[in-house]
Homo-oligomer: A and B are copies of this chain.
């Protein structure tokens, strides 16, 4: 580690990265390599002697890049996006340079304090109730992912309930959510020891764009109560993974309140849109929430990972996740004059992630970030119109944000309601390397997901993607 060596190599890497972005459209969006490809290209053991940076760059170009799926490509429309940006990238660089491990305030006060400040900024941008601010009893923290956010919320809720009902009542604790809830809730329950049969995923309503209805949740809770179970956690989603459905927050919040349950809101994807006034109404009901989560690393130009979690009462997190070993004791912590984020999360160590979010907010400003979101939503609207205009296709659920769920209509002769037809269309599109889109299944229908949200995506890319899908569909329909 020598500062001048770092400077020289760092400049070369910046050029490599800039060149990568310049040429990003020349690579297949979805990597086309076969399983095990890299083992054939690399040696079996680590090198004894150092290699040159030039040799490394050659290997990156020839062996690594072909195995990369290009999430930053403007032709990436799969899953939900994972935004990189100049500001986010600079933030990652600076964070890697300081390379602090910010478990306690004292290990780098700026890391903890900037995180508190930026999360308060963001809470205000989303117009979260003031209880979620650090100045009240709540506060925000950057988690790695929405999986970790829902897990820590679940643990706080579990332990709050067990303190009340006794720790042997774990077997009676029941979680309620829509069957459209992200699988991370199921996983959090596995980790927390919630019995599998007590994770009640209530069927969402296909007539409400796959949002869950309050009636169905109430009914499920009532049934559970009759069996002596203890309802303790409701997870609602703003922007489900399959179809960006929005669960009815105010009603679910009321139900949670009536039963003394923890109310968690997962707005991992769609939370970003709610910084725009015209989409903020989707968060109405957040007043009732105990915890609220959105991923700045999805659609908010902040490099992965950066998942924002706010809680209304931080003491529940701290009660569940604190440890206080001698070797970490220090004056500031002992005096309770500071926040130690180790007690709000699963791991002890943590990176200086607030830097990148702060830099995104500073270098772009809220107005530009709103425009950025609106532009993607406009592009999704445009795609939706293109689909509607082609009678061979259908839009399956109404578009709410920047995701369009659509499919090629099944032929009269179809035995599987268009499953193979659409699977083959997706496979052909993804195998072409020209675009990458993904799928889901709703009410048994195999559906294509076209999620706009990569930073470089422009109208021309959406149009070209649609043309490609049309052409591939024509070929398929001809041959079938």
Q: Which residues of B contact A427 (CB under 8 A)?
A: 331
Total contacting residues, chain A, CB less than 8 A: 152
Q: Which of A43-51, A253-261, A463-471 contacts B (4 or more CB under 8 A)?
A: A43-51
Nearest CB in chain B: distance from A268 CB, A: 10
A73-104 with Cβ < 8 A to chain B: 79, 82-86, 88-90, 92-94, 96-101
Nearest CB in chain B: distance from A192 CB, A: 6
> In the complex, which of the residues B14, B36, B53 contacts A11, with contact meaning CB atoms closer than 8 Å?
B14
Q: Which residues of B contact A326 (CB under 8 A)?
A: 242, 439-441
A-B CB contact pairs (8 Å), 18 listed: A7-B17, A14-B93, A35-B109, A38-B117, A46-B121, A46-B124, A46-B361, A66-B110, A69-B107, A99-B303, A99-B304, A144-B347, A147-B347, A148-B347, A241-B325, A242-B327, A326-B440, A327-B439
Known A3-B21, A145-B349, A321-B190: A93·B93 in contact at CB below 8 Å: yes
Contact indicator B323/A186 (Cβ below 8 Å):
yes
Given contacts A3-B18, A7-B15, 15 further A-B contacts (CB under 8 A): A1-B72, A7-B14, A10-B18, A13-B93, A39-B116, A69-B100, A69-B108, A71-B98, A71-B99, A79-B327, A92-B93, A93-B93, A187-B348, A327-B449, A329-B439
Interface centre among A6, A79, A118 (most CB of B within 10 A): A6
A346 to B427, CA, bound (A): 30
Residue A428 at the B interface, CB < 8 A? no
Question: What are the 3 closest A-B residue pairs judged by CB atoms, nearest first?
Answer: A67-B110, A7-B18, A193-B193
A449 to B122, CA, bound (A): 40
Residue A273 at the B interface, CB < 8 A? no
Binary contact track A117-156/B, C-beta < 8 Å → 1, others 0: 1101110110000000000000000001111100100010
**Copy number of this protein in the oligomer?**
2
Interface majority SS (helix, strand, loop, mixed), chain A: helix
Contact indicator A50/B365 (Cβ below 8 Å):
yes
Q: Which residues of B contact A348 (CB under 8 A)?
A: 145-147, 183-184, 187
A335 to B69, CA, bound (A): 19
Residue A165 at the B interface, CB < 8 A? no
Nearest CB in chain B: distance from A470 CB, A: 24
Known A37-B109, A99-B83, A125-B46: A304·B1 in contact at CB below 8 Å: no
Q: Which residues of B contact A15 (CB under 8 A)?
A: 7
A346 to B346, CA, bound (A): 9
Residue A56 at the B interface, CB < 8 A? yes
